Structure 1
């Protein structure tokens, strides 16, 4: 007799799931605030907090895209979650990007300015429990990252959204989710890090003044950042910062540009091992780096300016 109630519950769940209309990613006046906690070696960690926000539409090759901006702040800290032991850091330069949506296929694409082509950011239309999560720009663990669960969740605006839980082992609970109409709980465009030393989180999401999602991770937020989704202006664009790395995420070639002459450059992996360095750069302001020998993943770029300033920035390489 227990089978019938269970069957009816499953029918009800599937029916309610099917009744939720597709929710595209918002394209107007939308903001995501996200954070990463990265292991930098030598018992130091880096917190990176950034705001991503839509800027209006544009045309690329006759196709409509949504422009977005991003800026933020970073801190080096000694010991996991010890924000009071800041050992350096600074603002993240202002960057822009573009995305477009295929609402029929329920896919979201990022424009890669280097390859002049689209890259898959989200695929809400083909998520199946027990199957690998699609090979998106944020999926660093493909094909091991699996779709483990699906349900609907009521968010702050009172509406229900479809949600999929992701993980690497069906015997474990999902450690990250993607929510239709919001993005990943790992962040809008931040990598989904494997569960070891690195983390990424969506802290909040809003459209206009309407808050949609909040999940403040106090252990990875820099001390000067306010836990308030309405105060995105606490991260004003840092136009005075002299370093820009583009594209980021990138693939084989990455350009480093600075208004200050660059004296020294070095790239580390997340274990603190030096992999690449350049010096005696003849006061160059622009460097084009061939990183073909580095594998896909997250790296730390250290740049020393001729005036003595040092800037450390995380870069992501895609295949």
Structure 2
């Protein structure tokens, strides 16, 4: 039986494919992307199927034709593209999630995990953000993901589908320079010996970080967990629960890379990460219920792994073709 990873050629999806292949799973990667550079090194160890989540027939076919027994639903149109093309975002993120869940019901796929985002919060991000914090997204990507969380819960209640969600903190890894992200470009520029222009944060802007390898690990771990362990269903996950300010991150980087400079030129782009007076992204339910345990749990550990991946695996991150 095969494990299906939607968005399997994407940033976290490709790392999830890699982790599943490395433990001997039969893996099918489904993605609209025509360039599979992130998983090319795996060769014939993974089956790639090009398809569109917004096309119900293509979703049905990839599930039916590959005897899928578990789905890692990671495919989506990310935040900045969603703001540029809201109609395509709705098709991929909302209809696409419905298509995947309905395929599970029609073909008897017993379990699925879904990737959500800290962007499902938004208004009133104050204090500690827990799984019980009111979710009021201000970006379309976050709204679509919140709908997916709710739709999955409905399928669980109505058809018995074993549905689980990981709700990621700010993603950290090489070559993440999309609008809204300040931390990955800052880290990458420091490693490369370049000055950084921080467009999406002030010195006081904060974030809770998860490294891309840990993000994929969370996806694998939650679907491995026994069903009886899953009580909360939709879980925050992070590598570092307490927030890190841009000023604090810059200081850590300047200690490791002397001479590194940061200039803050705040963009007026509306696609900025959620901000507020929040102090932590609490993932204690994930840790308690299914033993979530990230590998990279300090800024220094994340930066060290970032440098290793940047230098040793540039092709995985689109930095060398």
Q: TM tier, shorter chain?
A: under 0.3
Richer in strand (by share): 1
Larger RCO: 1 or 2 (CA < 8 Å, sep 6+): 2
- The normalised TM-score by structure 1 is 0.24
